[in-house]
Amino acid sequence: MNWLHMFFNGPPGTPASVVWGYWVAAILTISIYTFLYKDNPLYKFVESLFVGIGAAYWMCLLYHETLVPKLIQPLFSPLPGEPVMWIRIFPGILAIFMLLRFYPKLSWLSRWSLGFIVGMYSAVNITGFGQGDFVTQIYATMTTPLRGTGTGEIILNVIAILGVFSVLIYFFFSKEHKGALGGVAKLGIWFLMVAFGASFGYTVMGRVSLLIGRMTFMLRDWLHLID
């Protein structure tokens, strides 16, 4: 009886709104996992609900965190002592152009906004990735110490240098991969496969962590079977 009371009413002192929230979350979780049996209308409903809530959440977040402080406030209600930033009217116009995709006669104007987004995003990310990954990788490889440290660290540094060098050789297509060049290229393939495997394993472990979190919620907070 005590378990049944906790199952329907939660632990003593738990607000009714929290209990109802547990029940809604549990039902939605079970509905999602019904896809493991087969595709069904219940799963499709919860999937659509998740996408809809996610889209609405991001729309509200972008409105309050981006649109208001970066466009509306600087243009129409600047802080005391701050000038009106009229230059920000141009991104506002581009944002309006994006909405014109819903009007076939004026949808071509949205291409200006899309072109600006793609161009700026590419430029910013190429610079960021180039500086953060490419240049940093070259610098770290060229400055890797091979002496003056412990034996284990020296071995790891040599492996890192061999990995970078062999992978670069693998992607060198100006000469056929034969002889010594082909052997180094095969070593690069091994390094690539290890890297891809580690990345995939990290992704799987992330999904397993989500599963563990859901199971913990179901067994502890909803069913009260574990502490």
If you write DSSP's letter for every residue of 173-186 in order, what string do you get? Answer: -SS---HHHHHHHH
As a whole number of angstroms, the distance between CA 16 and CA 125 comes to 48
Mean pLDDT of 184-204: 95
- Class of residue 65 by CB neighbours under 10 A (exposed 0-12, middle 13-18, buried 19+): exposed
Residue 147 pLDDT level (bands cut at 50, 70, 90): low
Residue 148 pLDDT level (bands cut at 50, 70, 90): low
As a whole number of angstroms, the distance between CA 132 and CA 126 comes to 10
DSSP label at 107?
Answer: G
Lowest-confidence segment of 3-12, 98-107, 124-133, 178-187 by average pLDDT: 3-12
Question: How many CA atoms does the CB half-sphere of 35 hold within 13 Å?
Answer: 9
Q: What is the pLDDT of residue 149?
A: 66
Mean pLDDT of 139-147: 75
Mean pLDDT of 188-209: 95
Report the SS3 class of residue 224. Answer: coil
pLDDT digits (tens, 9 = 90+) for 105-132: 999 999 999 999 999 989 888 888 888 7
Residue type present at position 44:
K
Mean pLDDT rounded to a whole number for the chain: 88
Residue 183 pLDDT level (bands cut at 50, 70, 90): very high
Q: What is the pLDDT of residue 175?
A: 85
Residue 48 pLDDT level (bands cut at 50, 70, 90): very high
pTM: 0.71
Looking at the chain, which runs of residues are DSSP E strands? none
